[in-house]
């Protein structure tokens, strides 16, 4: 058992039998009354976020989440197969756990998987990935970066918005958290 003094970003707590990850926290000491800790928590399984307040010094139950490096191998139906980079064991992860990360997964992609009691909880992608544009409407002469955006399909099948001057076959950097275009990549 830990106390509210141990709360920090990324900590996983067990509340009512469910796993919650701390996204933000703030220790508050008002002029009157006792101190408390204000937190923003994310349910690891369901993905919803809630605000929760704890009295200072209250006991909390923490969970030990093992974060390990994996390499994405292939998709098998609705499941995704990863290889543990330490012992080369393969792990099959359901699409529900992979979630939106599937939009940016390429074979041989390195990711971190949070494991609790041997079960995968979530997939943590790198902040950005480099993908090739497989289809987009051709750009026109005079298109500039501040003129607007157009849809483009990347090699994983995901659709992102890119500036008008980006053409098919261009390699672009994409933010994995938002799906936002970050720039062209010159190889």
Q: Which domains does the chain have, with CATH numbers?
A: 2-62 (2.30.30.30), 66-124 (2.40.50.140), 128-184 (2.40.50.140)
Is residue 93 within 8 Å of residue 120, measured between CB atoms? yes
Give me the pLDDT at residue 145, please. 54
What pLDDT is attached to residue 142?
A: 58
> Mean pLDDT, to the nearest integer, of 75-91?
92
The model's pTM is: 0.74
DSSP state of 88: -
The answer, yes or no, to whether residue 168 has pLDDT greater than 70, is yes
Task: Give per-residue pLDDT as tens, 139-153.
Answer: 665 555 566 788 999
Question: Distance between CA atoms of 34 and 54, rounded to whole angstroms?
Answer: 11
CB atoms under 10 Å from CB of 49, counted, come to 13
């Amino acid at each position: 058992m830990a106390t509210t003094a141990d709360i920090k970003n990324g900590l996983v707590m067990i509340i009512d039998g469910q796993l919650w990850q701390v996204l933000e926290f703030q220790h508050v000491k008002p002029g009157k009354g006792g101190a408390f800790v204000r937190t923003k928590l994310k349910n690891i399984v369901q993905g919803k976020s809630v605000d929760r307040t704890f009295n200072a010094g209250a006991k909390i139950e923490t969970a030990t989440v093992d974060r390990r490096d994996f390499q994405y191998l292939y998709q098998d139906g609705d499941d995704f197969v990863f290889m543990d980079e330490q012992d080369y064991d393969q792990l099959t992860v359901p699409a529900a756990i992979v979630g939106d990360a599937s939009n940016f997964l390429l074979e041989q992609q390195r990711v971190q998987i949070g494991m609790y009691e041997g079960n995968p909880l979530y997939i943590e992608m790198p902040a950005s990935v480099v993908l090739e544009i497989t289809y987009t409407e051709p750009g026109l002469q005079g298109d500039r970066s501040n003129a607007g955006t157009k849809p483009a399909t990347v090699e994983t099948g995901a659709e992102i918005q890119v500036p008008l001057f980006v053409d098919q076959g261009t390699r672009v950097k994409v933010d994995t958290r938002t799906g936002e275009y970050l720039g062209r990549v010159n190889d």
